[in-house]
Structure 1
Amino acid sequence: MRRSINGWTSSAGRGRGQGRVRSPGWKAWVTALGLLSGCGSGEARYEAKLFTDLCRVSPVLQGARYLRFRVTGPEMEPVERYVPVEQGTAELPTVPPGKGRVLEVRGYTDLPRSGGRVVALGRSQSFEVPESAGAARPTVRVALRPVDAYMRPGTTQGTCVSLAEPRAAHTATLLEDGRVLLAGGFQSSSGGADTTVASAELFDPVTGTVARVPSLETQRAFHTATRLPGGKVLLAGGEVESVEGALPVRSAQVLDVAQGTSTAVELKAARSQHAAAVDSGGRVLLVGGVGAGGAVVAEAEGYDPATGQVFSVSTPVPRVGMAAMPVQDGRRIAVVGGSDGTSLRPEVLFFSYEGGSFVPVGEGARLREPRRDAALVPFGGPEQLMYAGGYDSPGHVEEARFLASSELVSPGTAAQVSAGPQVFARSGLCAVALPDGRVMTLGGLRYSAGSFVSDSHVELLVPGKDGAAPALLGLKPLERQRQQHSCTVLQDGSVLIAGGLDDNGFQRTTLDDLVIYTPAPLD
């Protein structure tokens, strides 16, 4: 048996049991090697390692009597195995060779047929089972976490893992290898002054570790981060605090985290608080935002990673507080909501890449209740967007009414807008689409007792089936209220909540915490 940094890895032949390992106060699980059918080409092996280190007192598997190991993948029937937790060892399910295999591990209070419920859950990244038994066997990593709970990652000693430094109005980008790049942002001092940061860091949600990467070429907050084909990330625009106030940034840079390189890009317009989205060809559309002197930026532009060049977009999009998102498998990009500085814009715009640039396409739809600083997110699948929350003033939030409604945008041949579910009234909320079509909304800005304060509400929106109305479930509130934070769906379906600003109306605190929430599965 070989000990690793954050867990144990063991190996065994067919039918051989493994010993147990114990960590202080509770029993840790060690999974054994599973033997794979080689489809006539001999036996192949893979091994799995569970990571269970969290910043908490109670064990991950508290209340669990059974573990279920289930492997799915293309061109194979799902295979699973239930093992009593008291057994302490397991032989993994036998699966055929091939790519795209995913191992899911669940902790149950009892067998499902006896009414057992899920108390812990973890999923691996996609892995390949080799054809040959003599080929190097993959090690499959699974982070096991309690469901329906906010957990902070921790070390084997129980120490909490945090960001390398506090940050708000930063970006969080899920990379192809499952890690999350957190970049830029600002920090608020005790005197109320903001300082823009240029640092960046990588969080590994499996091992629960944070590693610094080289700083950005320019300090920036309220920028956009867009993952490009091949795993690179375009960080564009933003603003930097100076003695003259917040100045919009015209530069961008393409980060290749795997290679450790950065390429500078010059935008056509300095912009902050803008929107960006990538189409199926990897081209990025940048629209709107705040420019020099606080003016709304009308000029839209695009970036093509194939050429490394920025190109003009002839159609102006003078908006701020809007959102952009790819639709129809990335063939189009939708731009929804926002204000031109004078009035709210109800038109829903669609762009497609044609003739070397982005051009408007299709018949436009109109919002029923125009708004800005709302959250745009797929709802119930990729072919329907939900635009939730926000406020009803074209200008400053101090003049606004927070909206407790949402609207559904169906971007078909003839785009349609319909009323969506009610939400808690707030703006700047963070919203993410879970793999099963549900949506989580977290935090934001709300009005309370005469002050604008950070919010702690969390909601789970469930699409209706067979024409039924969507359901709204209130979840446990965040332990720290926050706005200008990031929320990211990880490869295992969990949600990473990072940083943000805790403003209670009297004091502003920039947060450095990392919190992971694992939704309970539908089945």
Structure 2
Amino acid sequence: MRHSLTLMVIVFAAVVLRAQGCGGQGNATLQTQAAFLGGSIAPVLAAAPGAPFIWYADFAPGQVTLPGIGTSCLAMSPALWPLVDGLGGGAPPMPASGTFSVSLGIPTAASLLGLTIYTQFGALDSSAPNGVAISNPVSVQLTIPDYALPTANNMSGFGTSLHRAVPLQDGRYTLICGGGSGNLTAPTPSNLVEMYDHYTRTFSPVSIMAGGPRTLHTGTRLQDGRVLVTGGIGSTTGNVDTGEVYDPATDTWTPVLNVMQNVRAAHTATLLNDGRVLITGGNGVFSTGPNGGFGPIFSSAYDTVDFYDPVTNTFMPAPNMLEKRIGHSAVLLPGGQVLLAGGVAGSFQPPIVGFPPLPVYATAGEIYDPSVNAFSPTGLTPVSRIVGVMNVLPSGSVLYAGGANGPLLCTTAAADFWDVTTNTWSPLPTSLPTDVALAASATLADGSIVITGGGQGCVAMFNSTTDVTVFNPNTFQFFPKAPLPAPKGSHTISPLPDGSFLLVGGLDASGFAVSTGYIWNQ
């Protein structure tokens, strides 16, 4: 059986198909980290203790049926080579711990930047199908720190901004749904959906949203791995009050059985620890007034809140927030509560003939506590803002930075800090290097926060930037990093299993939505 597996891999390579969706079988897993030129990488293989195994690498992905064994996700190209051969090459079997790791040095040659290696291993295991466990496939792309490489392709169906990117449970796949093509002030909502596969580093179309086009909607991964999408701006009906659930196992969308209390866009949806989703605020209208002002948008802000219950697949009313909010931020705190801050709460008509209504901002933060099913105040935020970034720090406190504020919705560099021990806000002593709104942020492995792209300007006429900034929660300092390869605003950033991050879509330097993706490493 040992030699037959080796021969099957080399000789019985059947039809090579695309590797999108190709997976493993049985009890075998493979994990890697980002691979930097001049550094090293230590992949971790896990399989049955004592199992003989063979570990291959190739320069192309594939999907090859191995009769009597299973499916390989390698292309079986002439460049295929064994990294470890415990079947015919004399290498020892899987250690008694059930894990094997080896440090592999990476050359420094700049010509190797962007080279991608595809890898997978198989191990003899009587409990696996056909007696062979085959690991999940993994790709390793050679890169350098503080750098972004393009994905292997662009989204095929659409350029998009104000979309939603939701990492699925295994981390390999990220669902990209909806969003607006065109520009920021007049987006054309889309019902298109694509799946990013980090093994092939490609986007592929999947089933469109059954409920119609959406932008400024929400996307939330549920505890069972499905994805809830709610509200947003529809194509012809304005903002919508519907929701639907995507099942990645069947590539199908199922409508929520009822509707929310209100149509909603620019709202938030936060997964609670009990599996429900807290849906807050948003607004009812996305259209300008007779003088081109945003008064109708501002004045239709809501303080209403809905729950989504995945058990019954229904929405149900929740207690109202303390303030109306549109374009606000919400994060789940370590204790299971939800912190909300920012947003516009309404509009004000200045006593000037022909002057458009101005925004009235929500002035304080608030916390939803599911144990008492109520909102409570946190005090005034130092800076009122809309479309900023909010991230939980390792201490449990929260960073709230950037966004737009003032009567003309001008971008700001201000940063605020919510202290979990005192439930109070204070301005940080330092600000972002540049003012920015509609940026995308994520938490790095060391607890730092990376803030990418965004736009600068006023009255939603934002010029997208290439800025990348990292906030150090230990020193409370912001540090500028190397710029992105191209400007991005209203885009998304999502964590990937090797510690890198996926940046998708957004607005380019001309203010129009793009279909590009990048993989950024710290």
CA distance in 2, matches of 1:368, 1:32: 46
CA distance in 1, matches of 2:343, 2:455: 17
Gaps of 5+ in 1: 10-30, 54-86, 111-117, 155-159
1:478 and 1:255, CA in 2 relative to 1: closer, same or farther beyond 3 A? same
The residue aligned with 2:420 is 411
Q: Which of residues 340, 351, 363 is equivalent to 1:335? A: 340
* Shift in Å, 1:131: 8.1
**Are 2:233 and 1:239 aligned?**
yes
* Shift in Å, 1:104: 9.1
Q: Deviations over 1:218-258 (max 9, x none)?
A: 1110100000011011100000244xxx8111111011121
CA-based RMSD: 3.9
The residue aligned with 2:381 is 367
2:191 partner SS = coil
* Shift in Å, 1:430: 0.8
Conserved 8 A contact 1:122-1:142: no
Q: Which of residues 243, 249, 255 is equivalent to 1:264? A: 255
The residue aligned with 1:150 is 148
CA distance in 1, matches of 2:97, 2:106: 28
* Shift in Å, 1:128: 12
Conserved 8 A contact 2:58-2:118: no
CA distance in 2, matches of 1:50, 1:470: 44
CA distance in 2, matches of 1:50, 1:234: 37
Amino acid at match of 1:284: V
Conserved 8 A contact 1:327-1:382: no
* Shift in Å, 1:275: 1.1
* Shift in Å, 1:378: 2.4
Gaps of 5+ in 2: 1-8, 23-41, 62-80, 86-90, 286-295, 348-359
* Shift in Å, 1:487: 1.1
CA distance in 1, matches of 2:412, 2:46: 55
Conserved 8 A contact 2:413-2:435: yes
1:387 partner SS = strand
Amino acid at match of 2:424: Q
The residue aligned with 1:141 is 137
For normalisation by structure 2, the TM-score amounts to: 0.71
CA distance in 1, matches of 2:116, 2:446: 15
CA distance in 2, matches of 1:471, 1:488: 23
Conserved 8 A contact 2:54-2:84: no
CA distance in 1, matches of 2:102, 2:390: 29
**Are 2:457 and 1:447 aligned?**
yes
Conserved 8 A contact 1:49-1:141: no
CA distance in 2, matches of 1:128, 1:366: 58
CA distance in 2, matches of 1:167, 1:477: 21
The residue aligned with 1:388 is 401
Q: Which of residues 446, 460, 480 is equivalent to 1:436? A: 446
Amino acid at match of 2:138: V
Q: Which of residues 352, 375, 381 is equivalent to 2:369? A: 352
2:462 partner SS = strand
The residue aligned with 2:3 is none
Conserved 8 A contact 2:156-2:205: no
CA distance in 1, matches of 2:519, 2:178: 21
For normalisation by structure 1, the TM-score amounts to: 0.71
Conserved 8 A contact 1:460-1:472: yes
How do 1:85-104 and structure 2 match up within 5 A?
89-90=83-84, 94-97=94-97
How do 1:418-497 and structure 2 match up within 5 A?
418-420=426-428, 421-423=430-432, 424-447=434-457, 452-464=462-474, 469-497=475-503
* Shift in Å, 1:436: 2.2
* Shift in Å, 1:120: 8.8
Q: Which of residues 162, 176, 179 is equivalent to 2:173? A: 179
CA distance in 2, matches of 1:229, 1:104: 34
1:270 partner SS = coil
**Identity across aligned pairs (percent)?**
21
The residue aligned with 1:196 is 189
2:307 partner SS = strand
CA distance in 2, matches of 1:252, 1:152: 32
Conserved 8 A contact 2:441-2:452: yes
Conserved 8 A contact 1:50-1:143: no
Q: Deviations over 1:318-347 (max 9, x none)?
A: 101211111125x21111222212432232
The residue aligned with 2:213 is 219
1:341 partner SS = strand
Q: Which of residues 302, 316, 319 is equivalent to 1:297? A: 302
Conserved 8 A contact 2:217-2:231: yes
1:270 and 1:120, CA in 2 relative to 1: closer, same or farther beyond 3 A? same
Count of residue pairs the alignment pairs up: 425
* Shift in Å, 1:140: 4.0
Conserved 8 A contact 2:190-2:235: no
1:143 partner SS = strand
CA distance in 1, matches of 2:209, 2:133: 37
1:215 and 1:37, CA in 2 relative to 1: closer, same or farther beyond 3 A? closer
